[in-house]
Amino acid sequence: MMKTFDQQRDIMIREHLQGRGISDQSVLKAMREVPREEFVSALYVESSYGDHPLPIAEGQTISQPYIVAYMTEALELSPTARVLEIGTGSGYATAVLSRIVKTVYSVERLSGLAQSARQRLDTFGYANIVIHEGDGTLGWPEHAPYDAIVVTAGAPDVPHPLLEQLAIGGRLIVPVGKSCEVQELVRVRRVSEHDYRTEYLCGVRFVPLIGAAGWSGKGPH
Segment 106 to 165, residues that bind ligand SAM, using CB under 6 A: 107-110, 113, 135-137, 152-153
**Distance in angstroms (rounded) separating the CA atoms of residues 77 and 201:** 17
63, 98, 106, 116: the catalytic one is 63
Q: By CB under 6 A, which span of 22-30, 43-51, 101-109, 174-182 interacts with ligand SAM?
A: 101-109
**Distance in angstroms (rounded) separating the CA atoms of residues 101 and 83:** 7
Nearer to ligand SAM, 170 or 214 (CB): 214
**Distance in angstroms (rounded) separating the CA atoms of residues 212 and 135:** 7
Nearer to ligand SAM, 1 or 43 (CB): 43
Contact 72, 93 (CB under 8 A): yes
Nearer to ligand SAM, 105 or 147 (CB): 105
Q: Applying CB under 6 A, does 86 fall inside the site for ligand SAM?
A: yes
Q: By CB under 6 A, which span of 23-31, 59-67, 122-130, 160-168 interacts with ligand SAM?
A: 59-67
How many other β-carbons are positioned within 10 Å of the β-carbon of residue 53? 18
Q: Applying CB under 6 A, does 204 fall inside the site for ligand SAM?
A: no
Residue choice 60, 72, 98, 183 for contact with ligand SAM (CB under 6 A): 60
CA distances (Å), 27 to each of 64, 95, 178, 182, 185, in order?
15, 11, 30, 25, 18
For residue 63, indicate whether it is catalytic. Answer: yes
**Nearest Cα residue to 134 out of 169, 110, 101:** 110
DSSP label of 12: I
* Least distance CB 108 / ligand SAM (angstroms): 5
Nearer to ligand SAM, 2 or 138 (CB): 138
Q: Which residue's Cβ lies closest to ligand SAM?
A: 87
What is the DSSP annotation of 67-106? Answer: HHHHHHHHT---TT-EEEEE--TTSHHHHHHHTTSSEEEE
Which residues does the annotation mark as catalytic?
63
- Summarize as ranges the residues that interact with ligand SAM (CB under 6 A): 60-63, 86-87, 89-90, 92-93, 107-110, 113, 135-137, 152-153, 206-207, 209-211, 214
